[in-house]
Structures are given as C-alpha cells and as structure tokens.
Chain A
Amino acid sequence: MRFARLQLRDAAAAEDAVQEALAAAWTQADRFAGQSEHKTWVFGILRHKLVDTLRTRQRTVNLSALESELADEALLDRELFKDNGHWSSQTKPRPWPTPETALRQQQFWALFEMCLEHLPEHIGRVFMMREFLDLDTDAICSELQMTANHCSVLMYRARLRLRTCLSEKGLSSEDANGEV
C-alpha cells in the first residue's frame, strides 16, 4: 500500500490499484503453495497495475518545480563535497553491511522505507519508476516528457540521497564489505 502511494502520489488511486491486485490475488490464492511465492506474485500484479495507471495519466512535469527541487540539491552537495569536488572527510561513504546481511535485517528495511519517503517528489517518482516498476530510463523520460539529462540527474540525486540518509540513520558495518 505504501509502495503504491509513493508511486502514484495519490491515495485514492493507490487504494484502487491495491484493491484490484488483492482481488486478483484472492481468486488465485489456491494456486500457490508457499506464502512468500504468493506475496511476490501479488506484488507483480500490483506493479503491472501501477504501470498501467501511470501510462494512462498525463504526467507532464512542471519544469519550474523541477528546477527548484534541483536547486535545493546544490545545498546537499555543499555538505557532501568539498569545493574541489572530493568527498568531505565527515561525509565520505563508509562501509555498509554486505547485501546478504543487509537484506535480511529488519532494521535495514525500516530505514530504507523511511528514507524513500523522505525523497523530494520528482526525485522519488523517477527512482520508483526505474527501480520498483523496472522501466528503462528512455521510457521514464518520454513518459514524464523530460530530457535524458534530467532523468539521469534525478536518478543520481535519488541514489545519493538514499545512501546518505541510510548512513545518517545509522546503517554501518564492521565487516569487510567496504573500505575505510
């Protein structure tokens, strides 16, 4: 549900999509032996519904809103990077747990969701379309009528913000999957 709402930025439309996915899932429930297999399948349906919904909407991006969002990003850059373009010593990325470890930790998922919700609007939307709906960047750009450069800047900002947010919220590791 939260996933749908993040993607559509519209509670009512999100609820409809989830309802439809659950209804479809319910009628097919006995086809699945394992619960996790079923859950994955429900998510698959939901994903297709969301892509359909996004397709039918006219989603022209308000360019001045986008520009002002990106102007704010310069503030973050000043915290992360020194004037010479290198990491500042406090914000230089430090090791995280290995993927195998992190993806099994409840704490990781809680932080991940929280940080996703904190993404600015356009940055969050493009990230969700790319990584959750698995659309390629060409499709996203044409869908939102943005330039390829805008798309890739937004993806970059999403990744930079998410990893910064997760690190600030305490994700770190003593193990070897990273270098100090």
Chain B
Amino acid sequence: MGKCKHITRLLSDALDRSLTTGEWVAIRLHLPTCSGCRNYRKQIRLLRDAAHTMSGISTPDKASSDD
C-alpha cells in the first residue's frame, strides 16, 4: 500500500477527482516518511500552475495561492 509507485498515482488522481477516505489515509501515513513523494506532490502542483498560467486560465499569483 505505502509504496511510492502507488502513492504517486494517488497524488496525481487527487488533482482530478475526490479520493476515498482509505486513499487519503494511505497518503497521510506515507508522506511523513518520504521526502521524494513530498517533493513529487509539490512538483505536480507546479505543473498544473504552469499550464494554467501558460493558457491564461489563471495568473501566476492566483495559481500559487489557490490551494
């Protein structure tokens, strides 16, 4: 359950749908123990901000403060 391969998939899914309670628990248990997945989470969020900025969906300032 708590493997990075699985957790990174859930972190990606979390940007597109609501996760189940069980899925959140898996993430909450894993993240404190894994800097790689914590960095991954910030990075995929930045990818979204960048895409939204580039396409004019939002400005950089709004994009980085809306979560």
Q: Which residues of A contact B (CB under 8 A)?
A: 3, 39-41, 43-44, 47, 77, 81, 84-87, 92-96, 99-100, 102-104, 108-109, 112, 127, 130-134, 136-137, 152, 155-156, 159-160, 162-163, 166, 177-180
Interfacial chain B residues near A155, Cβ < 8 Å: 12-13, 15-16
Interfacial chain A residues near B28, Cβ < 8 Å: none
Interfacial chain A residues near B56, Cβ < 8 Å: 39-41, 43-44, 47
> How many Å lie between the Cα of A39 and that of B44 in the bound state?
25
Q: Which residues of B contact A (CB under 8 A)?
A: 3-6, 8-9, 12-13, 15-17, 34-40, 42-57, 59-60, 63-64
The reply to whether B55 and A179 form a contact with Cβ atoms under 8 Å apart is: no
Interfacial chain B residues near A96, Cβ < 8 Å: 39, 42-43, 46
Measured CB to CB, the nearest residue on chain B to A85 is B3
Question: Which of A41, A103, A152 contacts B53 (CB under 8 A)?
Answer: A103
Chain B nearest Cβ from A124, distance in angstroms: 12
> Considering residues B17, B38, B55, which has the most beta carbons from chain A within 10 angstroms of its beta carbon?
B55
The reply to whether A179 and B35 form a contact with Cβ atoms under 8 Å apart is: yes
Question: Which of B15, B34, B59, B64 contacts A100 (CB under 8 A)?
Answer: B64
Question: Which of A40, A99, A163, A178 contacts B49 (CB under 8 A)?
Answer: A99
> How many Å lie between the Cα of A177 and that of B64 in the bound state?
13
12 contacts between A and B (CB under 8 A): A85-B5, A85-B6, A92-B36, A93-B35, A99-B49, A99-B60, A102-B50, A109-B54, A131-B55, A132-B57, A159-B44, A163-B47
> How many Å lie between the Cα of A160 and that of B57 in the bound state?
22
Known: A95-B39, A178-B42. 16 other contacts (CB 8 A): A47-B56, A86-B4, A86-B5, A86-B34, A93-B39, A99-B45, A99-B49, A103-B49, A103-B53, A103-B64, A131-B51, A156-B9, A159-B44, A159-B47, A162-B47, A179-B35
Interfacial chain A residues near B9, Cβ < 8 Å: 152, 156
Interfacial chain B residues near A86, Cβ < 8 Å: 3-5, 34
* Chain A to chain B: the 10 pairs with minimum beta-carbon distance, closest first: A85-B3, A43-B56, A131-B51, A92-B36, A93-B39, A40-B56, A179-B35, A156-B12, A99-B64, A87-B36
